[in-house]
Amino acid sequence: MAHWFHRNPLKATAPVSFNFYGVAGSPAANKICNDLRTTRARLLEMFTDITCNPEIMKNATDAYFSLLQGFIMPLDGTTQENKMRFIQNFKWTDTLQGNTPSGLNDLEIIAIIFLLLYSAHVCLLHSVSETEAKDVHRSLKIAAGIFKNLKDVHIPRLITPAEKGRDLEPRVIDAYIIQCQAEAQEVTIARAIELKHNATIIAALAFETANFYQKADHTLNTLEPECSSKWRKYLQLKQLFYMAYAYCYHGQTLLASDKCGEAIRSLQEAEKCYSRAESLCKEYRQTKGPGTTAKPSEQLFFLKLGGLIKMTLEKCQRENGFIYFHKVPAEPPQLDMKASYGLAEPVPFELPPLSEQCTPEVYATFDLTKGAKNDKAKPKEEEVKPVKEPDLKPQKDTGCVLS
C-alpha cells in the first residue's frame, strides 16, 4: 500500500531538552522534564520505524501526551492559563512548505503537531494481508478522527491563527480528514470485491469514495499550486478511478436487470473514466511538489479494473446483439447512489488522562521567576533536520486479495 497511497512529507522537528534551568524547583519537577524529553524522543523514532504497529504507537503517544498536559491544563484549581504553556519554543516544518521550520511558543500546538505525525505514520503499513488491511482501515479512521478533533477542539484555542498553506489551516485539515475517510473506504471496496459482494453495494461504495476524493480536491483548489498541485493530481486520479469502478459495477447491475443498452453505456463511461485516470497517473508522476510519488497504475488493483471493464463491456455487447437489441443511450446513466454499508466514519479521539506525576503540589514547584536571565544560560537551539522516511518496497502482487 506504500505505492498506492500518496503521502505528504513527514513533519520534521528539532530535539527538545526540556531543561528549564532553575524553573523546575524539585526532584519531581525535574523528573517530569526528563520524562518529557525521553518520551518525546522515543515517539519521534517510531514515526520512521515500519515495524512499529498502531498499538505501540498509541502507547508511546499516550505516554508523552499524559505528561505534556501537565503544561497545558490548569493545575492550580483555577481556570487561568497554565503558567508553563509558553515556556518552550518548538520548531516544526509544515508538510506542504518545504524544510523551513516555524518556531512556536504555544506549547499546546506541539500536541497538535504530534497528532498530525501520528496520523501520517499509521498509514505506512505496506502489506495487504487481512490482518494488516484491518489495521490500515482502522488506523485511517482513527487518523480522520484525530484531524477532526484538531479542527473542532484544539485549533480554535490557539492564540496565533494558522497561516495560509500551513498544516493547521482549515483547507489543509479538511483535506486530510476527507482523504483519510476515502482511503479507509478503499480498503472496504477491495474486501467487498474479494468476497464477491453484490455489485450494487460495490458501485455505491465506489461512487461515495469518488465523491470524497472530489471534495478533498475542491477543498485545496485555492491553495498555491506549487505546494498543492501534486497532491491534487493524486486526488483527481483517485476520483476518476473510483468513478470507473462505480460505472463498471453499475453496468453489471443494469445487465442483471435486463437493461442491456444502459449497461453498455455505463461500461463505456467506465472506460472513459479509467482512461482519464491512466493519463492522470502519468501527469501525477511528472508533477513536482511535496510528498511521495505513488504508483497506482502499476498495481494489480488498478490493472484488474481495466480488464474487468473490457470483459464486462464485451459481454454486454454480445448479449445485446443476440438477445436484447436495445438502443444505447447517448448520455451515461445518472449515478445517484447512497451506500448503506461500509462507509468510513472518523473514530472519535480524546487525549489520554493526565499523568499521575502531574499534581498541583509538583506544579507549584515550577517557578518561572527563577528561569535563565541571560542568553548564555539558555539551552542551545537545535537544528531541524529533514526526516529520513523508510523506503517501502512494493509487493509483487498488490491486487485486492486481503487474506
User: 305 lies in a domain?
Assistant: no
302 pLDDT above the threshold of 50: yes
Position 375 scores a pLDDT of 45
Position 11 scores a pLDDT of 85
400 pLDDT above the threshold of 60: no
Position 14 scores a pLDDT of 87
User: 291 lies in a domain?
Assistant: no
User: 273 lies in a domain?
Assistant: no
Q: How many CB atoms lie within 10 A of CB 374?
A: 6
User: 382 lies in a domain?
Assistant: no
DSSP 92: E
User: 125 lies in a domain?
Assistant: yes
Question: Could you tell me how far CA 354 lies from the centroid of its own chain?
Answer: 27
Query: What is the band of 293 on the pLDDT scale with cuts at 50, 70, 90?
Result: confident
Position 388 scores a pLDDT of 76
257 pLDDT above the threshold of 80: yes
C-alpha cell at 128: 495487504
Q: How many CB atoms lie within 10 A of CB 344?
A: 23
Structure confidence by residue, pLDDT tens digits, 312-361: 999 999 999 999 899 999 999 999 888 877 789 999 998 899 999 999 99
User: 141 lies in a domain?
Assistant: yes
Contact criterion met (CB below 8 Å) for 92 and 104: yes
Contact criterion met (CB below 8 Å) for 51 and 124: no
For a pLDDT cut of 70, what percent of the chain falls above it? 88
Q: Which range, 42-56, 59-73, 114-128, 266-280, has the best average confidence (pLDDT)?
A: 266-280
Let me know the angle formed at the C-alpha of 297 by 266 and 184, rounded to the nearest 5 degrees. 75
User: 391 lies in a domain?
Assistant: no
- Cβ contacts of 392-395, under 8 Å, gap ≥ 24: 392/2, 392/3, 392/50, 392/124, 392/126, 393/2, 393/126, 394/2, 394/3, 394/126, 394/295, 394/298, 394/299, 395/126, 395/127, 395/128
245 pLDDT above the threshold of 90: yes
Let me know the angle formed at the C-alpha of 351 by 94 and 220, rounded to the nearest 5 degrees. 35
Structure confidence by residue, pLDDT tens digits, 162-177: 888 888 899 999 999 9
N- to C-terminal Cα separation, the chain = 15
Mean pLDDT value across residues 131-158: 87
CB neighbour class for 168 (10 Å; exposed up to 12, middle 13-18, buried from 19): buried
More confident: 237 or 160: 237
Position 21 scores a pLDDT of 81
Query: What is the band of 108 on the pLDDT scale with cuts at 50, 70, 90?
Result: low
User: What is the domain range of residue 180?
Assistant: 19-223+341-368
Contact criterion met (CB below 8 Å) for 274 and 239: no
Query: What is the band of 374 on the pLDDT scale with cuts at 50, 70, 90?
Result: very low
Structure confidence by residue, pLDDT tens digits, 182-229: 999 999 999 999 999 999 999 999 999 999 999 999 999 999 998 999
Question: Could you tell me how far CA 172 lies from the centroid of its own chain?
Answer: 11
Least confident of 30-39, 84-93, 102-111, 122-131: 122-131
Mean pLDDT value across residues 361-373: 84
Least confident of 238-247, 300-309, 377-386: 377-386
CATH of the domain at 41: 1.25.40.280
User: 164 lies in a domain?
Assistant: yes
Mean pLDDT value across residues 356-385: 76
Mean pLDDT value across residues 266-286: 96
**Total tally of structural domains belonging to the chain:** 1
Q: Whole-number mean pLDDT of the chain?
A: 87
